[in-house]
Amino acid sequence: MDANQNLEEAVEVLQQLGLKEYEARCFVGLSRLRSGTAKQLSETTEVPRTRVYSAIRMLEAQGLVEIQHSSPQQFRAVPLEEATETLRDQYEARVERLHDALETVEVVDADDESPVQQVWAMTGRDAIENRTNDLVGEATDEIVLVVGNESLLTEDLIDTLNGVGNGVDLLIGALTETLQDRIQTTVPDATTFISGLEWLHGENAARNDTAIGRLLLVDRSALLVSSIMPGTKEEQAIFGEGLGNGLVVIARRLMAQGLLTVRDPKQ
């Protein structure tokens, strides 16, 4: 990625964090200058000079820019570490406000009868990992997890798995001995095994095949299955809860292939 692409990416990320385009461009422009006037900043960023002043005022109000009231005025960005910490605090505060606001929203039931079995689709690695962590954290009896892609065994997931209560059986399947060794080292309380599902193994799959990401069954009632899409490497998943006993039994037996019966606490 060249310098211009890095600058454009920085502008895009700042907009995602809540800055308007001219504000983002002015902040990125000032990050390239020790200090600058409105004229210099306009020439650097191609932001109209008349719009630079309003953008700078907004950036100053957010603690991202300092102003020297000379003639002409000089502007400079605060140090990068300080700016990123300020933006992080603002972002987290917005998330907390959103949570507090939505938590008080009254749920309207369109139908008094809820289906016993529900299956939903999800997209995005962060969202799927959050759902995985939530399900693991809520387990009261048993967790069966098969990791189909080593990149999905993140530090957050490892921390969540290590936080599982003593009364919960934790069974984790891996594709390779190397991954199994890593799981045994990082999650020592888990019973690990090499998955017997041959179609999970990347080396046996064609380049354009969709690869399984993770398989998770919690308390024999909640099932999450994800896949890694070829090309984009985007993770997609289906999630079901309140599933029928027959489906759960089949899913568990498939997922536990490779786990010796004598070591399986639920067989």
Letter for the amino acid at 95?
A: V
Q: What is the pLDDT of residues 149-171, one digit of tens each?
A: 888 999 999 999 999 988 899 99
Task: For residue 33, name the pLDDT band (cuts at 50, 70, 90).
Answer: confident
E strands, 88-159, where? 118-123, 142-147
Among the listed ranges 83-87, 188-192, 218-222, 240-244, which one has the minimum average pLDDT value? 240-244
Q: Which domains does the chain have, with CATH numbers?
A: 3-103 (1.10.10.10), 118-263 (3.30.870.10)
Q: Which of 10, 1, 263, 15 is nearest to 144 (CA)?
A: 263
Q: Which of 179, 154, 141 is nearest to 258 (CA)?
A: 179
Q: In this prediction, what percent of the chain has a pLDDT beyond 70?
A: 82
Residue 52's pLDDT is: 94
pLDDT above 70 for 249: no
Q: Which residue has the higher pLDDT, 242 or 40?
A: 40
Task: For residue 85, name the pLDDT band (cuts at 50, 70, 90).
Answer: very high
Q: In this prediction, what percent of the chain has a pLDDT beyond 90?
A: 48
Residue 232's pLDDT is: 83
Q: How far is CA 96 from CA 92, 124, 144, in A?
A: 6, 21, 32
Q: What is the pLDDT of residues 166-216, one digit of tens each?
A: 889 999 988 888 999 999 999 999 999 888 665 555 444 555 565 788 989
Among the listed ranges 18-22, 41-45, 77-81, 105-109, which one has the minimum average pLDDT value? 105-109
Q: Average pLDDT in the 248-267 region? A: 63
Q: Average pLDDT in the 78-107 region? A: 89
How many Cβ atoms sit within 10 Å of the Cβ of residue 206? 7
Angle subtended at Cα 64 by Cα 59 and Cα 69, rounded to the nearest 5 degrees = 70
Residue 177: CA atoms inside 13 Å, Cβ hemisphere, count?
0
Task: For residue 262, name the pLDDT band (cuts at 50, 70, 90).
Answer: very low
pLDDT above 70 for 118: no
